[in-house]
């Protein structure tokens, strides 16, 4: 229950914070070898392409990639990325970056890290999940109910990629509606 509440709190804070961001760059078309500099903010809403590198305290929000995908996506050096939609062929998470995944399609995910790290690199907001350790397939449903299936690749001679993923269980919309109706019924009964 505590994890669910923390997950909902993070989701609410992120939604509120994202509403007030003015982006330095908005990518709505094809790009190649994109690496924003410094502490910039980028919104990808319909943009797609190859070799996206997010690093050096930058913030990127991926809303959509249209009918295309981002082929290679690297996040490193204290980058923060929120993925709400779109398609990513290969997501590589390196050196102290943080990724929040709320939806979208990711074919393969790999996390490079050292064994000294004590927190998670990737937060996934899901209603349910399952990891097949034989096939290295992570599957489940995003918070909006859409299905996902991600090939998990372990970096050579590093710690398991699954160790660095935190799953935040988001109640299904129908569950929230039932809680609301139950609360109203209890309030009405007490009056």
Q: What is the pLDDT of residues 39-73, one digit of tens each?
A: 899 999 999 999 999 888 899 999 999 999 999 99
Q: Residue 48 to residues 31, 82, 122, 157, 159: CA-CA distances in angstroms?
A: 6, 16, 22, 32, 31
Q: What is the pTM of this model?
A: 0.80
pLDDT at residue number 150: 97
CA-only gyration radius of the chain, Å: 18
Enumerate residue ranges in the chain where pLDDT < 50: none
Cβ–Cβ < 8 Å for 99, 84 = no
Instruction: Tell which residue, 79, 105, 107, 73, has the closest CA to residue 92.
Output: 73
Please report, for the chain, the start and end positions of each structural domain, with discontinuous segments joined by +. 2-190
| Bridge pairing between strands 137-142 and 147-154 | antiparallel
Instruction: Tell which residue, 128, 149, 146, 127, has the closest CA to residue 138.
Output: 149
């Amino acid at each position: 229950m505590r994890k669910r509440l923390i997950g909902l709190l993070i989701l609410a804070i992120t939604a509120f914070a994202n509403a007030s961001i003015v982006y330095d760059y908005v990518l709505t078309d094809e790009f190649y070898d994109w690496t924003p500099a410094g502490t910039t903010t980028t919104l990808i809403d319909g943009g797609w392409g190859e070799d996206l590198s997010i690093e050096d305290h930058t913030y990127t929000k991926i809303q959509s990639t249209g009918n295309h995908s981002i082929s290679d996506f690297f996040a490193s050096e204290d980058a923060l990325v929120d993925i709400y939609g779109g398609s990513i062929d290969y997501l590589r998470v390196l050196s102290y970056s943080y990724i929040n995944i709320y939806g979208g399609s990711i074919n393969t995910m790999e996390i490079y890290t050292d064994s000294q790290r004590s927190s998670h690199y990737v937060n996934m907001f899901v209603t349910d999940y399952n990891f097949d350790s034989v096939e290295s397939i992570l599957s489940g449903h995003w918070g909006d109910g859409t299905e996902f299936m991600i090939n998990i690749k372990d970096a050579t001679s590093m710690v398991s990629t699954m160790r660095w993923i935190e799953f935040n269980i988001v109640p299904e919309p129908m569950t929230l509606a039932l809680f609301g109706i139950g609360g109203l019924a209890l309030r009405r009964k007490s009056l």
